[in-house]
Structure 1
Amino acid sequence: MIELRGIHKAFGPNRVLRGVDLSVPRGESMVIIGGSGTGKSVLLKCILGLVKPDAGRILIQGEDATGLDRDAFLARFGMLFQGGALFDSLTVWQNVAFRLLRGAQKRPKAEAREIAIEKLRRVGLKPEVADLYPAELSGGMQKRVGLARAIAAEPEIIFFDEPTTGLDPIMAGVINELIREIVVEMGATAMTITHDMTSVRAIADDVAMLHDGVIQWTGPVANMDAAPDPYLQQFIHGRAEGPIEAVR
């Protein structure tokens, strides 16, 4: 579904991506791990076209992403943002139906509201939540609303940016379980960036470790613990000693 070939991106002298090669199979859940500042978010932004790579190609189902119609291209994606990124001035249902109320996917208001309420139900929120504002919700409920928004337009590809950040362990487990269920249910291709190893084990089919601007290791999540790569082993076990230098 997604293929990255030799992706480079620098910001001034800071070479963030130095030749990323990665394939994400259709209908599978790929989780990208790596330390803070290794370029995970930059990589997602490159795929979405929010940041233009300096070199390399991004293919979506074999087609060069730069040659695709912009609106049609973005309509294929859903996104769960790290901080929720809900609009404070909109009600919960309006947040969920944001894409359905405008642009090429515009639906009548009543239909959009109905879809939003159904998606809220899917993530475990009652219909009465629909008319509340984000400020009236807990952090876990806001994350669920963000997930409902990500799936509202039935996207083919869903991105999850640090989906459990700021949540307690129990709520993080609930969100991980929901993500896994929904991705399987929809048959969507998922790409998640996280440093939470509990999330990795819960939602990944495949794992890729981004380090020093390249994919250091990639493979099925079942092979991760036994992989001999010292960078991967240091990261997944949180060891202070190893080839990855800790910033002090």
Structure 2
Amino acid sequence: MTETAKIVLEGVAKSFGSKHVLRGVDLCVQQGQSTVIIGGSGTGKSVTLKCVLGLISPDAGSITVDGQDVSRLRGRARETMLDKFGMLFQGGALFDSLLVWENVAFRMLQGRRKLPRHDARDLAIEKLRRVGLTPETADLYPAELSGGMQKRVGLARAIAAEPEIIFFDEPTTGLDPIMADVINELIREIVVEMGATAMTITHDMSSVRKIADRVAMLHDGVIQWEGPVDDIDATENPYVHQFVNGLAEGPIEAIR
């Protein structure tokens, strides 16, 4: 661990009954770094993020954010830690009954940093502009938007509170290749512009190449390989080689 480490996982294990999902995950994410965790479905990528957020308690190991053990935080200390995070959910997770601007400003309307509604709306419109949506979008409902626009709204919500850390859960799922590339470009631009630390989970290699500084391969409950994104095509690691090239043969067995 270095002085600039933002998130550190050491020996993190988590089981659900007899199913051992995480068996000892070690990962260090540096301040301002974009780390992408790759791996097949059911390998524990989402569980890893939930453990960092404190939504799931690991059975063993430690997770620190800015040097604080997240498992030990309670009450106001935990709320302060969570204020550092923003998240783009896989399915968008927008509230159908709220207007777009109310979705974007949800934390400012409901959370500890509550703002007057007109100020919250102004902030939401500013963030919508940042992701390429017009002010007119603010007064629509999510159901009136295309899938790509909904994803942009989700991204605007993720950055609304100027978080230090942003999590992206399968950010391009359900999007066509062109819109997926647009979202990847936006994510990269925003993370760099904000100087945020980013953790992304995905199986989309185009996203990996576009937004990652470093890549971690999670399989069988542990990090099988971790390194710079530029090394993923050159590494001789058999797990990475099979996954990146979409090969049927290799150490990763297809679930049938």
TM above 0.5, one fold? Answer: yes
The match for 1:151 among 141, 151, 159 is 159
Tell me by how many angstroms 1:73 deviates: 1.3
Please give the alpha-carbon distance, in whole angstroms, between the structure 2 residues aligned to 1:72 and 1:108: 21
Q: 1:65 aligns with which of 62, 67, 70?
A: 70
Give 3-state SS (helix, strand or coil) of 2:112's partner.
helix
Determine the C-alpha separation between the residues in 2 that align with 1:63 and 1:72: 11
CA distance in 1, matches of 2:194, 2:138: 23
Matched, 1:28 2:33: yes
Q: Distance in 1 between matches of 2:221 and 2:27?
A: 12
Task: Report the secondary structure of 1:218's partner residue.
Answer: strand
> Sequence identity, in percent?
75
What one-letter code is carried by the residue in structure 2 that aligns with 1:87? Answer: F
- Give, in whole Å, the separation in 2 of the partners of 1:111 and 1:241: 56
What is the aligned counterpart of 1:117 among 91, 110, 125? 125
Counterpart in 1 of 2:226? 218
User: Offset at 1:103?
Assistant: 2.2
Q: Counterpart amino acid of 1:164?
A: T
For residues 106-129 of structure 1, the C-alpha deviation after alignment (integer angstroms, 9 at most, x for no partner) is: 111111110100000000000000
Query: Where in structure 2 are the equivalents of 1:9-24 lying within 5 Å?
Result: 9-24=14-29
Match of residue 3 from structure 2? none
2:234 is aligned with 1:229:
no
Residue 227 of structure 1: how far off its partner (Å): 0.7
Please give the secondary structure, in 1, of the residue aligned with 2:154.
helix
TM-score (norm 2): 0.96
Greater than 4 Å deviation, 4+ residue runs: none
Q: Name the structure 2 match of 1:85.
A: 93
> d(CA) in 1 for partners of 2:215 and 2:200?
9
CA distance in 2, matches of 1:237, 1:129: 40
2:169 partner amino acid:
D
Q: Deviations over 1:161-190 (max 9, x none)?
A: 000000000000000000000000000000
- Equivalent positions of 1:1-248 (< 5 A) are 1-68=6-73, 69-248=77-256
- Under a length normalisation based on structure 1, what TM-score does the superposition of the two structures give? 0.99
Which structure 1 segments of 5+ residues have no match?
none
1:52-111 deviations in Å (ceiling 9; x for gaps)? 100110001111112331211111100000000000000000000000112211111111
Shift of 1:18: 0.1
Q: CA deviation at 1:218?
A: 0.1
Query: Aligned equivalents of 1:27 and 1:105: distance in 2?
Result: 24
Q: Distance in 2 between matches of 1:126 and 1:223?
A: 39
Unaligned 5+ residue runs, structure 2? 1-5
Number of aligned residue pairs: give it: 248
